[in-house]
Structure 1
Amino acid sequence: MKLLHIDSSALGEYSVSRQLSADIVAELKHQTPDVEISYLDLAAQPLAHWTPAVADASGAEAAQGNALVEEFLAADVVVIGAPMYNFGISSQLKAWIDRIAVAGKTFRYTENGVEGLAKGKQVIIASSRGGVYVEGPFAAFDHQETYLRAVLGFIGVTDLTFVRAEGVAISPENKEQALKSAQSSILSVITKLAKAA
């Protein structure tokens, strides 16, 4: 099994999404010791934002983009640490998505509409939010998880799971409870995945 582990939070050791993504990967490694892990830290080594020059078929940037697409396609499991920043995802994670959402590689247009080509992989999102967005008055402000569902679905990912800690900025007690809730769901998510592998 090949696993691609991605972190995108700029908060370093204070990051909730990094803590959760590390816990997910550790549990997966515990249950499937032969897993091969590749790691990308998009905050420590940020990608340039997509431009036509970056997408040019010649040069190092294009080669890097091709390598990122191939790494994503080769992975059986992708674990993404995705914090909510200003109701959306981090710009670092968006830059990576712009590299992997490539017509002819991860999706294609057909007479019957768009067909996602990145099928057959499990994606687990370690989602962290300062407030509460899964329900209540701010649910309409969620452009983080809704965007990730849309763009990953567009490229063919149908097996998508969120491990969520939200309300972590409300109070220390809320943060502790949110982390406990998220960490308790990790075991069941990974056990299900390991059985299917």
Structure 2
Amino acid sequence: MKNVLIIQSSPAGENSKTRQLIEAVKNRFSKEYKEVEFTERDLVKTNLPHVQFDDIATLFSHDEKFQSPFNTRSMELINELRKADIIVIGMPMHNFSVPSNLKAWIDHTSRAGITFTYTAEGPRGTLGGKKAILVTSAGGVYSSGPAQSLDFSEPFVKTWLRVLGVEDIQSVRVEGLSVPELAVNAVANAMRDVERLKL
């Protein structure tokens, strides 16, 4: 049995290209494995609050049973990560970075003493052995060329995953959606990349 956690962050609904690509990724998993269980966390519907002053005590606590609303939400999300063999994250680029709901999810699941620990050699994750697939979309082209240095989304999420111990990371990008001559084939090209994923 493969457990796949899918994180959706696009607010674009049926028009979302990351959601379309994730459906293709799910179809590949269903064909690849006889038994696969999907857990889907739609951050648009979940509407996680951003970290507030009263949440700081929880973030500095290593106690998974710490009594606070933040800790209840945080541990629910962390346990979804723990259960997953593979994490699929849909993340359209918003102003050169990730959607704010995805950042809120990352803040809820980044817990020193729980999902990573500090060591003399730097942070060490507790979620090793998992795989991750990042499904990204952007109006421009950021994987190469003059705008590459403006992509703060994929490098950020890859760094965060590695802090948690996830080293096996693949990406599927649909780019140039706001450039007419590129947008025509953008989704089709990304779908071919879905077929090349190593599951």
User: More deviation in 19-28 or 80-89?
Assistant: 19-28
Q: Which residue number in structure 1 is paired with residue 47 of structure 2?
A: 46
Q: Which residue number in structure 1 is paired with residue 106 of structure 2?
A: 97
Amino acid at match of 1:180: A
Q: Which residue number in structure 1 is paired with residue 3 of structure 2?
A: 2
Which whole-Å CA distance do the structure 2 matches of 1:170 and 1:26 have between them? 28
- Say which SS state the counterpart of residue 131 (structure 1) adopts: coil
Within the candidate set 45, 60, 64, 2:73 is matched to 64
**Deviation, structure 1 residue 112:** 2.5
Unaligned runs of 5+ in 1: none
**Deviation, structure 1 residue 160:** 0.5
Which whole-Å CA distance do the structure 2 matches of 1:52 and 1:32 have between them? 44
Using structure 2 for the length normalisation, give the TM-score: 0.90
**Deviation, structure 1 residue 4:** 0.4
Within the candidate set 166, 187, 194, 1:179 is matched to 187
Unaligned runs of 5+ in 2: 59-65
Which whole-Å CA distance do the structure 1 matches of 2:140 and 2:34 have between them? 36
Which whole-Å CA distance do the structure 2 matches of 1:19 and 1:6 have between them? 13
Using structure 1 for the length normalisation, give the TM-score: 0.91
CA contact (8 A) 1:5 1:79 kept: yes
Aligned residues: 190
Runs of 4+ in 1 over 4 A off after TM superposition: none
Which whole-Å CA distance do the structure 2 matches of 1:9 and 1:179 have between them? 16
Q: Which residue number in structure 2 is paired with residue 85 of structure 1?
A: 94
- Report the identity percentage: 35
Which whole-Å CA distance do the structure 1 matches of 2:33 and 2:90 have between them? 20
**Deviation, structure 1 residue 188:** 2.1
The answer to whether the aligner puts 1:122 opposite 2:131 as a matched pair is yes
Q: Which residue number in structure 1 is paired with residue 83 of structure 2?
A: 74
